[in-house]
Amino acid sequence: MTDAARDLLRFIDASPTPYHAVGEVTRRLEAAGFARLTETEPWSLTPGARHFVVRSESSLLAFEVGEAALADAGFHAIGAHTDSPNLRVKPSPDVTSHGCRQLAIEPYGGVLLHTWLDRDLSLAGRVVIATPSGLRSVNLDFARPLLRIPNLAIHLQRETKTEGIKLNEQTHLVPVIGLESAPPLAQLLAEELRAQGHGALEPRAIHGFDLMLYDTQPSCVSGARGEFLHAPRLDNLASCHAALRALASARRAPLPPFTRVVVLYDHEEVGSRSAQGAQSGFLADSLARIVEATKSGGPQGLPRSLAR
């Protein structure tokens, strides 16, 4: 297996959610010499500058300014998305039934529902907590088997052999998280955040979350010669990984005339129409700022740059 393939598997395992994917991309970009910008501050750029900007913690745009004026050389861009079909926790998550505590979930994107049955599932995403200085969002990953969506025994659904599995999204996919006496989700989140060093939190400090289920089985290689890669979220983390490696490792001497850009969007699986999706102004706004910040666009710099 090539080093690139091994690195892809590491990247996927480090990215159970779009928030974690952007966090991993951020870590790798900073290691490659890219500096973070914010959308709230003015940008000033020179040829060779390597930067990235994050929106809503789940979309990211990175770029390297080329040698020539943008109006003369334009952009070379790659786009991908950070989200994948999965199961997400509802805002009011706590459910009890038949002596068990469960979590209410909602399918996100075009989920193949049957693939989530009988797997060791964990929980990851973003949690908003109250602190003395105000609300703060943190990434959280339980990183251990926590949930299960059990299949029904064959003698209770004999028609499955001839008719296949027919699943109701709202009644058949409610994962079990413990016995009825198990703590509610807010308490579990507070305990896990405390264990991960976020302070002595109480359940009432949890003000919101965007949490997703994922399979804890690590990505792996199989085949007589190691021909096959097996991993979740290949759509579209494989493209994110390829774009990231291309940008971070691109040759810088001599600096190319054009400006390199990678944009990784959230919410492609549900139509891209969010503030950080592909139909938002994230890319257009960022490209306009790059043209203005390099002060090399000249008259009608942005449309000329885009036409290149």
Q: Encode pLDDT of 228-249 as tens digits.
A: 999 999 999 999 999 999 999 9
pLDDT score, position 164: 83
pLDDT score, position 119: 97
Contact predicate 69/297, CB 8 Å? yes
- Token pair belonging to 149: 């969506």
pLDDT score, position 199: 85
pLDDT digits 0-9 by tens, 117-146 = 999 999 999 999 999 899 999 999 999 999
Nearest CA to 188 among 254, 295, 102? Answer: 102
pLDDT score, position 52: 98
| Cα(114)–Cα(269) distance, integer angstroms | 18
Predicted TM-score of the model (pTM): 0.95
Close Cβ partners of 243 (under 8 Å, ≥ 6 residues apart):
78, 79, 80, 262, 264
Beta strands in 151-307 (DSSP E): 176-179, 206-215, 220-222, 228-230, 259-265
DSSP state of 148: B
**SS3 label, residue 124:** strand
**SS3 label, residue 143:** coil
pLDDT score, position 205: 95
Sign of CA dihedral 264, 267, 273, 276: negative
pLDDT score, position 156: 81
Which segments of the chain have a pLDDT < 70? 297
pLDDT score, position 284: 96
- Token pair belonging to 297: 């666009």
Sign of CA dihedral 49, 50, 55, 60: positive
Q: How many CB atoms lie within 10 A of CB 1?
A: 14
Contact predicate 246/80, CB 8 Å? no
Close Cβ partners of 47 (under 8 Å, ≥ 6 residues apart):
65, 66, 67, 255, 294
pLDDT score, position 162: 82
pLDDT score, position 44: 96
According to DSSP, the β-strands at 220-222 and 228-230 are: antiparallel
**SS3 label, residue 12:** helix
